[in-house]
């Protein structure tokens, strides 16, 4: 029960619904056990002595009991569902809030499809046990205990003979529980992997089709689907093995009841009605005992699901605020790195090694280097997406971990290389970081990002609804909307991570002209592979293998004959070759 204890904060606040539901459940159970007693009284006190005038009264009493049972059943089920639904509503909120707080390091290894499976299928499995499983366990236990009490009241010897095989049934149920829980955990994991496969395939459908890899993807899906099938078959084989055994043991109890009970009736030690009631009561014990397998099934599923949910809820939050962080709404944007070293994983090589530089307010810093040289890692440390292993990152001469995360990040405008847009209107995408912005401000930001003209050509202008991940816009259009979104929050620090890589040269020049106006008074980091995108920077840092190997302004770096000049020569020689080929054509 450790899993349920760890999750108790999500369902204990609603325990009143559970306990009120439990009262009605016990009433229903009590009435259920009354049925065999009514049957016994009918046979022994009405039919046998031929007192038929009592039948209408018994019938009315029986109808009254059924009416009360029906109302109690409704209230029990409704309140039980209310308990489960309210609990899981809080649990799902907690999970989603936790996912918002988890650092980038967690998502580096997480799979989207698996996370979706946990927030849907696993949460629902946990809810079903809260709504039904708990109460079913109590119903079974109370029904067995009450039925046993009535049986011992009728005949102690017959009750003992009937119950002789029950310990064997209990052992089988225990063995079933021990084997079925790992099986259901395997099912949940396999379902998560299957979900991930589907999610990745749909997200990458353009790549799949462009490379004619449909058959390969079908093969990969078949493998995951077969893994899911095999896990289910393993569980089904456990059920198929144990349930016939449970039923066989139960039937032994029935045979013992009929044999010894018939003997007691013949010797007048037991009335016929009592034997009939005994027969009904024994099934009130055997049926629930065998249903323990179903409850164990639910428990195992919910426990496996709960364990997967706890993996999210208990995941370490590496990036946390101090007790009394600085709540500064507007920062100057002075960024300083002092001997900073960063490793994403403990055993991996350092992504950044002994990085030091100073970027006062209004300064533009260009970052250039090969893929994996550490350009993006620098900007991710400014926003505290990751923590350095050594050194300090400062904003306005204070370590970034002294600031509140919301205040720090709201002062930084990011335009990433792969622009992500939400499936909502263009207007809401631009205003995502500043939802209180006026329409005039939104239009002004779009104009600065060279996005206004193409937006006005859309069917509904700024109210045009985009598809998933900005479907309906080209790569360059998505990046311009993302640039407008960054401009609108009026950041102290602006990060352009290859922000113009998906636009043509003419549009890039227009955007750069607009951005130079926006950069005034802001600290700006330009990450680019094109020298044309950052040659106007106040300082350019050239990175190789996580180290700064050159720094300076464009003209100074060209005269050094180092890595920057080699990049320049490669880019502009290629450009000249293309222009020459174009002329010859």
Long-range contacts of 57-64 (CB under 8 A, 24+ apart): 62/38
Residue 401 lies in a domain: no
Q: What is the DSSP string of 427-487?
A: HHHHTTT-TT--HHHHHHHHHHTT-HHHHHTSTTGGGPBP-GGGTTS-HHHHHHHHHHHHH
265 in helix, strand or coil?
helix
Domain of residue 111: give its range.
2-313
123 in helix, strand or coil?
helix
Residue 318 lies in a domain: no
CB atoms within 10 A of CB 163: 18
Place of tokens 């001469």: 397
Pick the closest to residue 114 from 190, 188, 193 (CA basis).
Answer: 193
Residue 584 lies in a domain: no
Residue 336 lies in a domain: no
Residue 467 lies in a domain: no
Rounded-to-integer distance, Cα 280 and Cα 38, Å: 11
Spell out the per-residue pLDDT of the chain, length 585, in tens.
Answer: 688 888 888 888 999 999 999 999 999 988 888 888 888 788 877 777 777 777 788 788 888 888 998 999 999 999 999 998 899 889 999 998 888 888 878 887 777 777 887 888 888 888 888 888 888 888 888 888 888 888 888 888 888 887 777 778 778 777 776 777 678 778 877 877 887 777 777 766 766 766 667 788 888 888 888 888 888 888 888 878 877 877 787 777 778 777 887 888 888 887 888 888 888 888 888 777 777 767 877 787 788 888 888 988 888 888 888 888 888 888 988 999 999 999 887 766 788 999 999 999 989 999 998 888 888 889 889 988 888 989 999 999 999 999 988 888 888 888 877 778 888 889 998 998 888 889 999 999 888 888 898 899 988 899 988 877 677 787 778 888 888 888 888 889 998 887 666 566 676 676 676 677 677 788 999 988 878 778 888 999 999 888 999 999 998 888 888 888 888 888 776 554 444 444 444
Supply the CATH number for residue 102's domain.
Answer: 1.20.1560.10
Residue 573 lies in a domain: no
| 471 burial level (CB within 10 Å; 0-12, 13-18, 19+) | exposed
Cα radius of gyration rounded to whole Å, the chain: 36
Rounded-to-integer distance, Cα 234 and Cα 109, Å: 29
Residue 333 lies in a domain: no
Beta-carbon-side half-sphere exposure of residue 400 (alpha carbons within 13 Å): 30
Q: The sheet that has 547-552: what strands, in order across it?
A: 412-415, 493-497, 523-527, 364-369, 539-544, 547-552
Work out how many domains the chain is built from and give that number: 1
For residues 261 and 24, is the Cβ–Cβ distance under 8 A?
no
Rounded-to-integer distance, Cα 368 and Cα 574, Å: 18
CB atoms within 10 A of CB 44: 16
Pick the closest to residue 133 from 25, 225, 12, 236 (CA basis).
Answer: 25
Crossing angle of helices 15-41 and 134-154, rounded to 10°:
30
Residue 263 lies in a domain: yes
């Amino acid at each position: 029960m450790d899993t349920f204890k760890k999750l108790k904060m999500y369902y204990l606040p609603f325990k009143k619904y559970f306990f009120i539901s439990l009262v009605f459940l016990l009433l229903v159970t009590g009435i259920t056990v009354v049925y065999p007693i009514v049957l016994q009284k009918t046979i022994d006190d009405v039919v046998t002595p031929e007192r038929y005038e009592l039948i209408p009264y018994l019938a009315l009493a029986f109808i009254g009991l059924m009416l009360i049972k029906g109302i109690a059943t409704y209230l029990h089920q409704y309140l039980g569902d209310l308990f489960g639904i309210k609990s899981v509503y809080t649990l799902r909120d907690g999970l989603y809030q936790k996912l918002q707080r988890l650092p980038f390091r967690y998502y580096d290894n997480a799979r989207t499809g698996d996370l979706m499976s946990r927030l849907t299928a696993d949460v629902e499995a946990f809810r079903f046990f809260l709504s039904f499983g708990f109460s079913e366990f109590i119903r079974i236990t109370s029904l067995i205990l009450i039925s046993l009490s009535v049986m011992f009241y009728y005949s102690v010897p017959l009750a003992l003979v009937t119950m002789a095989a029950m310990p064997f049934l209990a052992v089988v149920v225990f063995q079933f529980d021990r084997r079925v829980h790992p099986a259901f955990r395997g099912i949940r994991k396999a379902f998560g992997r299957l979900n991930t496969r589907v999610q990745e395939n749909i997200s990458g459908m353009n790549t799949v089709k462009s490379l004619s890899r449909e058959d390969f993807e079908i093969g990969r899906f078949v493998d995951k689907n077969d893994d899911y099938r095999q896990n289910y078959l393993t569980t089904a084989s456990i059920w198929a093995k144990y349930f016939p055994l449970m039923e066989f043991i139960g039937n032994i109890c029935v045979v013992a009841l009929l044999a010894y009970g018939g003997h007691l009736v013949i010797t007048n030690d037991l009335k016929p009605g009592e034997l009939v009631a005994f027969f009904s009561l024994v099934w009130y014990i055997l049926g629930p005992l065998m249903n323990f397998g179903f409850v164990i099934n639910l428990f195992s599923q919910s426990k496996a699901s709960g364990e997967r949910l706890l993996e999210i809820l208990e995941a370490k939050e590496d990036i946390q605020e101090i007790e009394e962080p600085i709540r500064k709404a507007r920062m100057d944007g002075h960024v300083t790195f002092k001997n900073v070293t960063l490793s994403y994983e403990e055993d991996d090589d350092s992504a950044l090694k002994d990085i030091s530089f100073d970027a006062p307010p209004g300064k533009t810093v260009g970052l250039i280097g090969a893929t994996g040289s550490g350009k993006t890692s620098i900007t991710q440390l400014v926003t505290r997406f990751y923590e350095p292993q050594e050194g300090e990152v400062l904003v306005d001469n204070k370590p970034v971990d002294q600031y509140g995360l919301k205040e720090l990040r709201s002062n930084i405008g990011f335009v990433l290389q792969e622009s992500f847009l939400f499936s909502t209107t263009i207007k809401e995408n631009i205003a995502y970081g500043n939802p209180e912005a006026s329409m005039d401000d939104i239009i002004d930001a779009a104009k600065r990002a060279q996005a206004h003209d193409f937006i006005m050509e859309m069917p509904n202008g700024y109210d045009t609804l985009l598809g998933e991940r900005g479907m309906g816009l080209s790569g360059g259009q998505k990046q311009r909307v993302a640039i407008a979104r960054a401009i609108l929050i009026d950041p102290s620090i602006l990060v352009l991570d290859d922000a113009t890589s998906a636009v043509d040269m003419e549009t890039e020049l227009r955007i750069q002209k607009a951005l130079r106006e926006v950069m005034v008074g802001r600290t700006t980091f330009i990450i680019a592979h094109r020298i044309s995108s950052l040659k106007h920077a106040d300082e350019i840092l050239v990175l190789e293998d996580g180290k700064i190997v050159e720094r300076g302004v464009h003209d100074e770096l060209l005269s050094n004959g180092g890595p920057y000049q080699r990049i320049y020569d490669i880019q502009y020689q290629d450009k000249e070759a293309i222009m020459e080929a174009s002329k010859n054509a």
